[in-house]
Amino acid sequence: MIGALGLLKWPAIVVDRRGMVLDVNEDAYSLFDGDLSIKGKRLFAADLQSRMRLDRLVNQIRLASSKAGRTTLQTVVTRRQGRPVVVDAFVQGLEDDLFPAVGALLLLTDLNETLQVSQNSVMEIFGLTPSQARLGSLLVEGKTLKEISLDMKISPGTARNHLKAVFLRTGTRRQAELVSLLSRLR
Mean pLDDT of 81-94: 88
Please check whether the two domains, 2-110 and 119-183, share a CATH topology. no
pLDDT, tens digit, for every residue of 24-65? 999 999 999 999 999 999 999 999 999 999 999 999 998 888
Residue 98 has pLDDT above 60, yes or no: no
Q: Check if CATH label 3.40.50.10740 holds for domain 119-183.
A: no
As a whole-number percent, the residues of the chain with pLDDT over 70 amount to 92
The fold of the 2-110 domain, in CATH, is Beta-Lactamase (3.30.450)
Mean pLDDT of 93-107: 72
How far apart CA 167 and CA 2 sit, in angstroms, is 37
Give the domain ranges of the chain. 2-110, 119-183
Report the predicted TM-score, pTM, of the whole model to 2 decimal places: 0.76
Residue 176: exposure state from Cβ atoms within 10 A (0-12, 13-18, ≥19)? exposed
pLDDT at 66 (0 to 100): 79
pLDDT band at 126 (very low <50, low <70, confident <90, very high): very high
Confidence grade of residue 153 (pLDDT, cut at 50, 70, 90):
very high
Whether the pLDDT of residue 160 is over 80: the answer is yes
